[in-house]
Amino acid sequence: MIEKCFSAMKVKKAVILAGGLGTRLRPLTYDIPKSLVKVKGKTLMEHILDLLKRYGVTEIYVAIGHLGGKIVDYFGDGSKFGVKIKYYNETIPLGTAGCIYSIKKELTEPFFVINGDDIMTLNLADMQEFHRKSNSLVTIALWKVEDTSQYGVVELMGNKIKRFVEKPKKEEAPSNLINSGFYLFSPEVLEMIKPGFSMLEKDLFPKLAESGKLYGYKFEGQWFDIGDFSRLENAEKKWRNLP
């Protein structure tokens, strides 16, 4: 059954957003970029690549910035890790949407976008089928949390995302589902991004929600946001490497 899911997977490309400063992990990130922080003996970006490779996603575009040369040195062209990697260096900050727009000539078919500081396990083949059936422009993988006050929470109408509520108290939250930092994009959405600095969360997603083309895919498995040292410690204790 698993093999059938893998063979049905069509998406071959992914963009990893690895240009962040990782300020809440300083002094560690003074010397290495956040994507090279390790959990259970592997860098965060290796964990992401493990998931992508599992589903046949091997054409990887990495947006780099802060200490990006160290990511290039570590991963090279990706051949040692079973993928092909191209790098796009942000000489000036472009934001999470702006850097994707700068790669648009490579992205002529559906593609995944992943935050470089989140690690997770989910069924990418199932997510793609959900995206196709929904006729979505962007599908966001949604993770369930107990404490909504630490995250941006989604309000859903069916599977459509209506809006995001930033860090609500539990009793005021419209759901307990949050943006996991893992997305599936249809290439048409790139026409909605303007050149220059722009953010997915503030500039693109609200427009998509208003047009009814932003969907949420709920998943179970594992998800860890390596946002600060306490979350890094939690991931080190609880993360289970992919077999």
What residues are labeled active site?
167
Q: Phi-psi region for residue 82, left (φ > 0), alpha (ψ -120 to 50) or beta?
A: left
Whole-angstrom distance between the N-terminal and C-terminal Cα of the chain? 17
Rg (CA), the chain: 17
- CA dist 51 and 64 (Å) reads 20
Type and span of the H or E element at 71? helix 68-75
Tokens 């160290």 belong to 70
**What angle do the packed helices 124-134 and 44-54 form, to 10 degrees?**
70
Is residue 174 within 8 A of residue 154, CB to CB? The reply is: yes
* b/e per residue 190-200 (b: at least 16 CB within 10 A): bebbeeeebeb
Asked if the peptide bond before residue 33 counts as cis, ω within 30 degrees of 0, the response is no
